[in-house]
């Protein structure tokens, strides 16, 4: 029987909303990052003084796509972390929120075919009244190869794996919401507010991201000779990109249902290097994009929500192109309870 690994409880800080995962466990600390003094308005109804309870499931993903040009046979391949679904429950009250996620074996019965993996995956999403802040800190060891244009080993129906490939990455996106009096991120993505009328906002900010990949070159050369090339040593790489991002977010409200979407593309400066490459580090432009979508029902005490988030980077290196993306998808159902006793006359 597979052992259920329970989340690590993390320290809670006021005005923070992190999403944290460790070794197939998942925790979400998602407090009310709204201004607690804000009152119900024509557009936004605040429920942060009520106890919010939710049940949810969450799926997080992470992966790269590489192309290698300028060699005798161009190579293209993509590798990803194993797909994994967690179930959990959580709450929000005023500035405090916490979710507890669990990896049950019966909902992830086929993880073995993706190879051995370990992970420390921290994704946090902060929604203060005027700002949007997304952060990641991830360490993954072990990936599987999703697709490639060259022949790869396939053992007993399992995917070709890269068990020694390690990824360390950390970054922050920061955005300012110009129409924060009428548009609420909390209504769509935390559900401790209600968006009563359709509204949108312009977003502008910046980002920085550091990525480091490392593997055993002997392992790659032995098991994947079609991917490994002496002149293009993909056993150790680093990437740094930073720049300006901006876009627009809008929530459409139809009675008690809503659909919210935000897109923030940007142009970054990119610096990267491939170990073994005798050229100088590659420097150039990188296309950055973040997409956030939510849809659901939100009225009175009850709500449901579906959330999708992706952070993608499209760039190049000295020998080809690279695309990196990370994100998560979550479905929640919940209710809000009035925990304040009425004063007797």
Domains present along the chain, CATH in parentheses? 18-337 (2.40.128)
pLDDT at residue 266 greater than cutoff 90: yes
Residues in the chain: 345
Phi, psi for residue 105 in degrees, rounded to 5:
-60, -35
In order of 126, 188, 271, the CA distances from 242 in angstroms are 20, 28, 9
Q: What is the pLDDT of residue 7?
A: 37
Average pLDDT, the chain: 79
- How many other CB atoms are found less than 10 A from the CB of residue 7? 22
Q: What is the pLDDT of residue 217?
A: 66
Mean pLDDT of 171-180: 94
CA 127 to chain centre: 15
d(CA 181, CA 34): 11
Question: Could you report the per-residue pLDDT of 218-255, keeping only the tens digit for each?
Answer: 666 555 655 655 555 566 788 899 999 999 999 999 99
Q: At 145, list the tokens.
A: 């190869």
Contact call for residues 8 and 103 (beta carbons, < 8 A): no
Q: What is the pLDDT of residue 184?
A: 93
d(CA 295, CA 155): 41
pLDDT at residue 201 greater than cutoff 80: yes
Q: Which helix or strand (DSSP H or E) is residue 223 part of?
A: helix 217-223
Q: At 170, list the tokens.
A: 């950390």
CA 120 to chain centre: 13
Least confident stretch, 86-100, 244-258, 300-314: 86-100
Q: Which helix or strand (DSSP H or E) is residue 115 part of?
A: none
Question: Could you report the per-residue pLDDT of 60-75, keeping only the tens digit for each?
Answer: 888 888 887 766 677 7
Confidence of residue 17 (pLDDT cuts 50, 70, 90): very low
Name which of 132, 119, 200, 143 is nearest 172 in CA terms.
Answer: 132
Q: What is the pLDDT of residue 81?
A: 87
Kindly state the percentage of the chain with pLDDT values over 90.
35
* One-character DSSP codes across 5-40: PBPPP----TT--EEEEETTEEEE-----S-TTPPP
Least confident stretch, 36-40, 66-70, 136-140, 328-332: 36-40
């Amino acid at each position: 029987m597979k052992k259920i690994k329970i989340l690590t409880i993390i320290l809670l800080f006021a005005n923070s909303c992190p999403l944290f995962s460790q070794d197939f466990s998942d925790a979400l600390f998602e407090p009310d990052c709204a201004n607690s003094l804000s009152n119900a308005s024509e557009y936004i109804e605040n429920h942060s003084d009520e106890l919010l309870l939710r049940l949810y499931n969450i799926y997080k993903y992470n992966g790269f796509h590489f192309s290698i040009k300028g060699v005798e046979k161009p190579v293209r391949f993509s590798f990803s972390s194993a797909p994994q679904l967690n179930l959990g429950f959580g709450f929000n009250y005023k500035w405090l929120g916490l979710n507890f996620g669990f990896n049950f074996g019966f909902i992830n019965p086929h993880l073995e075919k993706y190879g051995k993996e370990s992970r420390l995956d921290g994704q946090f999403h902060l929604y203060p009244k005027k700002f949007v802040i997304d952060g990641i800190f991830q360490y993954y060891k072990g990936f599987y190869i999703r697709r490639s244009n060259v022949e790869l080993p396939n053992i007993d129906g399992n995917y070709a794996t890269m068990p020694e490939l390690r990824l360390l990455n950390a970054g922050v996106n920061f955005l300012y919401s110009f129409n924060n009096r009428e548009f609420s991120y909390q209504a769509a993505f935390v559900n401790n507010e209600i968006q009563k009328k359709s509204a949108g906002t312009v977003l502008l900010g910046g980002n920085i991201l550091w990525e480091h990949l490392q593997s055993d070159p002997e392992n790659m050369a032995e098991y994947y000779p079609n991917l490994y090339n002496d002149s293009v040593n993909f056993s150790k790489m680093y990437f740094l990109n930073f720049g300006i991002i901006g876009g627009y977010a809008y929530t459409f409200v139809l009675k008690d249902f809503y659909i919210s979407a935000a897109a923030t593309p940007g142009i970054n400066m990119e610096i990267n290097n491939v170990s073994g490459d005798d050229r100088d580090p590659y420097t150039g432009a990188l296309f950055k994009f973040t997409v956030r979508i939510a849809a659901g029902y939100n009225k009175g005490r009850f709500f449901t929500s579906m959330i999708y988030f992706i952070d993608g980077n499209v760039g190049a290196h000295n020998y080809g192109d690279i695309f990196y993306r990370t994100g998560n998808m979550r479905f929640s159902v919940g209710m809000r309870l009035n925990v304040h006793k009425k004063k007797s006359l």
